[in-house]
């Protein structure tokens, strides 16, 4: 019985190896990232808000230009900075901190840079596209809803009461490339 050995030129072997690496490495990394994200989401509720990450610009219901810059949810904290503009001048700014507090995903607002005494716990598990935070004891807003309408469209809706009347402020934002 004879064995036949087939020899391939080194250049062909290198080409096959490069192709296999180029095709398989990204697939392996994607699978690992998905597994890590699933694990992180179970152990870190803040990780559920990863869909918010990005730089967003658009308008508020009152016509003001609006901007939100939202960090990644690393280390159990997601930070959101926001600004509203009227005729090119910043008329409002805030910092929103998302953390786990007493086992509950919580929104902590800092309107105009000042820590609010009110916190807003999540009222349901955040999904891949929606998160709701509420504090019924607060006037406005009582509720924050963050919703990813499309990959490049984030809607933030604030609802509550002002002087006994129902009020709503909607921010329709597009992802900044």
Query: DSSP letters along 41-69, please?
Result: HHH-GGGGGGGG-EEEEEEETTS-EEEEE
Average pLDDT, whole number, for the chain? 83
The kind and range of the H/E element at 33 are helix 10-43
CA distance 77 to 54: 15
Residues 106-149: tens digit of each pLDDT:
999 999 999 999 999 999 877 879 999 999 999 999 999 999 99
Judge if the upstream peptide bond of residue 141 is cis by omega within 30 degrees of 0: yes
Write down the pLDDT at residue 16: 37
Write down the pLDDT at residue 19: 37
Write down the pLDDT at residue 79: 98
Are 140 and 129 contacting, i.e. CB atoms less than 8 angstroms apart?
no
Residues 71-97: tens digit of each pLDDT:
999 999 999 999 999 999 999 999 999
- Give the range among 5-14, 29-38, 158-167, 168-177 with minimum mean pLDDT: 29-38
């Amino acid at each position: 019985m004879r064995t036949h050995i087939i020899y391939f030129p080194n250049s062909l072997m290198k080409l096959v190896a490069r192709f296999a690496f180029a095709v398989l490495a990204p697939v392996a990394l994607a699978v690992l990232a998905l597994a890590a994200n699933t694990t992180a989401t179970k152990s870190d509720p803040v990780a559920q808000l990863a869909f918010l990450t990005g730089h967003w610009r658009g308008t508020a219901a009152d016509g003001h230009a609006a901007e939100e810059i939202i960090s990644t949810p690393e280390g159990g904290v997601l930070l959101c900075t926001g600004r509203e503009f009227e005729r090119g001048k910043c008329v409002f700014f805030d910092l929103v901190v998302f953390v786990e507090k007493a086992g509950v995903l919580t929104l902590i607002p800092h309107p105009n840079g000042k820590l609010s005494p009110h916190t807003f716990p999540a009222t349901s598990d955040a999904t891949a596209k929606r998160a709701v935070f509420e504090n019924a004891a607060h006037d406005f807003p009582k509720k924050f809803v963050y919703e990813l309408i499309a990959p490049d469209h984030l809607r933030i809706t604030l609802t509550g009461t002002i002087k006994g009347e129902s009020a709503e402020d909607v921010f329709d934002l597009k992802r900044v490339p």
